[in-house]
Structure 1
């Protein structure tokens, strides 16, 4: 066998050793690679299709003639050939004849680039980009004790050109970079980046796991985007979909004429909800394909993290199905998927120090962010329970919120069980769910006031932050993936006020260790008042045990003005107002406080108290104006429970 077609080790037991070598990158062996063989320039092609009886490569270099460049069957079901004269930029496909004699033209699973949809050919591509982000890459971390405020962006609809077409990645780099810097987010999370055939899937039905979509440019253009954002100090996270793939005949589906990347049994291998196939996590070659994809983005594209989509659908064999096959122990967990996720996190963290791998996991599966082998090994998990409870509370008429008071304190019961991201994502503002501001009851002013309280509570609760694009300026319509955001709203005072608030929240979040450090520590959140259900008022302290810095948040979640509301504080002296969501700059009335001097009257189990005017539907955030190092805070006797 030629060294050009060195077979990929497929024994799962080799994965631990492979984590320290390039062999964990199957795309270095498979796919299309510009090469020189015998002094002749051309392209080396290799594809895994063990069930095929014949494979040839067709493309621009042979006028799509399936008889000209037949591939040779090598070990482990890999087919390979060298095509003299083929070059970068040419389109190609694999013409695969199954054991049953049926022939289908297939995209390259390891393709580095693709032609613009609806065409589906792969494109020969060679990396020629020069990075300038060495300092960023050598110093990046997963950010456990750092501020992580993520702006989630669908690259195809954040902003478009005047003619309605997509921005190029390079255009997006400058416009998005300038905006994110102004707004103060620390990271962007991009969805819709990996190549996909159907715009309406938002990029969640992937066919090109190793390639950025050609809608916005070339792989080098995408690298420019990442490089530019890194230069501005902005991290880049991508949505990654290892849970399922589309049934398009040109893609991975039945690649060699039968089940290959997918489970053979449709009770395990087909998602009825999404009309997609499920990866066969028990097959070593499939595990290597997926891990190689993750490493491609983290290593070659310098991406800082991956948000793994729909983890619950991977973990449970009975996920959204009436017929399912139990595991070997009779349980509902997909043990092969569990093993894959553990291995994914082991390998990515070993080979890409400082990267963050985030799970969208919607159940109470234990140990999602516990290091492997004892847990799944993710860095973070989306706090889906917090999101559902908080939105359910705010959607209530304020008159009835006293009956749902516990929904905003229940997060305290489990918040230290995992590393959480408080995420308000695209899923919450589509399919007739309304935009966030329009979920709030009442007239337009009341909706905006309540929305501002929602945002302030989100930013001051323990956990990293994620907000979907458009919600930072109170977009009133649902997200439309086929159009640009309604940017004209940012010039309207009502919307600009919310935008100003998000910017200020990000500023405080990045400046104050009591807001971002020690999210998982019990002592990072003290409830001053968690049981005033009749008035729907909450008060709590965020505290950083290292610096001693702390702040007090007081939330009035009804449209009722509460004059001289007393709140217990641990220290006598003057307090300063850091933020009021009722400030006129944010669209409120600008209610004034008569005094911020603590009195000797004890309250809420504390030796001193403040008398505050609580504007309707508002959050006040205060800090002690004296020496915070002397603070001794008395924890209430009872913490809020469900």
Structure 2
């Protein structure tokens, strides 16, 4: 079939297109990109691209041998170039040949492409979504009705292409991950899976954090249909799906978004603000309406098209502070360090998402304390959750430490309790902590191999019982010793070792315990969720506290021993007279410890312990943790 430029009328008016320029169009992919239309039983395709300062734009592809035979026409009001044409069957690769404002001619990708060819090529494919009959209505209805702040949230963080490989060494795509990862998530009792960025990126070494295609699933992971099937299968199994998203900066590649029409189109005009020296990328101009339309449309597309349950926004600090990068910076017009464009973009982003999809989780990866992040505060950016980077840094520093020095650094495990209610937090032990020479979580632990496993169980118990939602990076659940490698699969061979297999069993049991234990999540919004028994026992380095549920009798007692000394006949205060049963002990044999039997039930004594009138005595394993619950108590005898 002969390729021709057609004069089929556009289905969108100039006023529709102008909404993109005002930043008010949050479904801009319905105008820009490629779209199919039928006229007199003939199929045509309309291509549109925003390039306001380009001198000339041609549509090129395998259908016209990449030659300048299909000139696009420009709408002078909007800066949008357009062409409608027919295409031969099975020829669907395309780019835009742009004559930039400087006269330079360059091939550019379609910023709104939904599918790209596989690397090393980066041409877009003509792709028209097919309507899917989703079977996840029960999950989505339950999600809409539930209050996630008062529900368990335990996330398994995954890098899609290094989870598992085939025998040939090829990374699993979503077709294979549906068959392997979902049953594994079920077995391990996680509530959600979170993927490092799935959008199109040209270089695996970036782990997906330097994007070129904000509407496209990375072609290395499979087709959009396969990812939709994965999400649907997760929902059927009551597992939520969260994706990382990078609206702060983008890939520098010359044929992608960078200086698209020869001017600062997507980036800041000021080169010092445009260049992200820390990551070798380019910063979006987050104050530009067209960029806001592009980015918010991008994430809404993922939410609505793929039914994802949450978005983790990467590198929020880099968007809200002018002095975050390594290069020179200027104060804002108010004389402060806040990047006002980024600050107000994020507020707007969250407002739009909460209007369009109020039950989708918005999560900030943010490392400072100067700006209010979560919707717990009216003057915040409006996120649902913030990663608690302070907790993560403090506890890992503590657990790496020789126990001889822990008594003098006990505040590293208690300081987070001072600010735990300041934001709605997720406690992350993420990919960033097991790469670049930082060592795996297992390798960070002090002591010989047995003690390392014991402390890893202790650490995970602390995380699960500390107020806040949870996140653990893949491989850490069984104590992988080697650092994570983005281009290799996880060390599944570890599970042939009895200690690793038992560590995996422990993590699964701990996750299930968390899901079934309402005191660990249902009152997390209130300070009353936690009551300290003894947070000052530096000499023994033992931390003890209570997690309270809604009902008076519904609580758990947590005791964590941070030293390699077994604490025999150890006394703690309890709130009520009666009997207490041990329900978790990290040193049981099935978990890799040495204990064959649980501690016997504890009967209270009329001994004052701090502010408690009753106390019990029990044994706390070396480098171990135990959890007790009341089985027969007299609630009228409190304190």
- With the shorter chain as reference, the TM-score category is over 0.9
Classify the secondary structure of the residue corresponding to 1:76: coil
What SS class does the counterpart of residue 455 from structure 1 fall into? helix
Q: Which residue of 2 aligns with 1:130?
A: 133
Question: Which one of 140, 143, 159 corresponds to residue 143 of structure 2?
Answer: 140
Question: How has the CA–CA distance of structure 1 residues 583 and 80 changed in structure 2, closer, same or farther, with 3 Å as cutoff?
Answer: same
- How far does residue 527 in structure 1 lie from its aligned partner after superposition? 0.8
Structure 1 residues 192 and 164: CA distance shift in structure 2, 3 A: farther
Contact 1:538/1:554, CA 8 A, preserved across alignment: yes
How much does 1:339 deviate?
0.8
Q: Identify the residue that residue 478 of structure 1 maps to in structure 2.
A: 483
Shift of 1:69: 4.2
Q: Please list the CA deviations of residues 94-126 of structure 1 after superposition, one character each: whole Å capped at 9, or x if unmatched.
A: 111012211111111110000111111011111
2:93 matched residue in structure 1: 91
| Alpha carbons of structure 1 residues 627 and 610: separation in structure 2 relative to 1, 3 Å | closer
Residues of 1 paired with 2:413 and 2:327: CA distance? 34
Q: Partner of 2:410: helix, strand, or coil?
A: helix
Q: 1:89 to 1:445 in 2, by over 3 A?
A: farther
Match of 1:425 in 2: 430
Cα shift readout 1:180-211 (whole Å, capped 9, x = no counterpart):
01110000001141110000000000111001
Match for 2:103 among 101, 104, 119?
Answer: 101
Separation of aligned partners in 2, 1:337 and 1:307 = 16
Counterpart of 1:613 in structure 2 is 619
What are the residue-to-residue correspondences of 1:183-582 with 2, within 5 Å? 183-370=188-375, 374-546=379-551, 548-582=553-587
Gapped regions of structure 2 (runs ≥ 5): 1-7
Cα distance in 2 for residues equivalent to 1:631 and 1:313 = 53
Moved more, 568-577 or 332-341: 568-577
Contact 2:577-2:638 within 8 A present in 1 as well: no
Give the CA deviation at 1:509: 1.0
Q: 1:43 aligns with which of 42, 45, 50?
A: 45
Q: Paired residue for 2:13, among 6, 10, 17? A: 6
Q: Does 1:58 align with 2:64?
A: no
* Secondary structure of the structure 2 residue equivalent to 1:625: strand
Whether the 8 Å CA contact 1:31–1:108 is kept in 2: the answer is yes
Q: Deviations over 1:305-352 (max 9, x none)?
A: 100000000000111334112111011101111111011101111111
Give the C-alpha shift of residue 10 in structure 1.
5.1
Deviation at 1:46, TM superposition (A): 0.4
Change in CA separation of 1:515 and 1:495 when aligned onto 2, cut-off 3 Å: same
Distance 1:482-1:439 versus aligned 2 partners, 3 A rule: same
Q: Check the 8 A contact 2:568/2:620 in 1, yes or no.
A: yes
TM-score normalised by the chain length of structure 1: 0.94
Contact map agreement 1:570 1:631 (CA 8 A) in 2: no
**Which residue is equivalent to 1:28?**
30
Asked whether the 8 Å contact 2:613–2:638 carries over to 1, the reply is no
Q: Cα distance, 1:508 vs. partner?
A: 1.2
What is aligned with 2:119?
A: 117
Q: For structure 1, which runs of at least 5 residues remain unmatched after alignment?
A: 635-642
Q: Structure 1 CA distance, aligned partners of 2:447 and 2:62?
A: 61
> How many residue pairs were aligned?
627
Matched, 1:601 2:607: yes
Q: Secondary structure at the match of 1:230?
A: helix
Out of 585-594 and 289-298, give the one that drifted further: 585-594
CA contact (8 A) 1:112 1:125 kept: yes
Give the 3-state SS of the residue equivalent to 2:311 in structure 1: strand
Tell me by how many angstroms 1:73 deviates.
Answer: 3.6
- Distance verdict in 2 for CA 1:387–1:632, change over 3 Å: farther
CA distance in 1, matches of 2:111, 2:376: 30
Cα separation, partners in 2 of 1:404 and 1:10, compared to 1, 3 Å: farther
Deviation at 1:13, TM superposition (A): 11
Confirm or deny: 8 A CA contact 1:55 1:79 kept in the other structure: yes
Q: 1:596 to 1:371 in 2, by over 3 A?
A: closer
Q: CA deviation at 1:139?
A: 2.6
Distance 1:71 1:372, change over 3 A: farther
SS in 1 for 2:535: strand
CA contact (8 A) 2:188 2:507 kept: yes
Segment of structure 1 superposing worse, 510-519 or 273-282: 510-519
- Tell whether the 8 Å contact from 1:418 to 1:520 is kept in structure 2 after alignment: no
Alignment of 1:175-190 (within 5 A): 175-190=180-195
Q: Does the 8 A contact of 1:523 with 1:545 survive in 2?
A: no
Cα distance per residue 1:74-113 (max 9 Å; x no partner): 5311001111135677111011101221111111111000
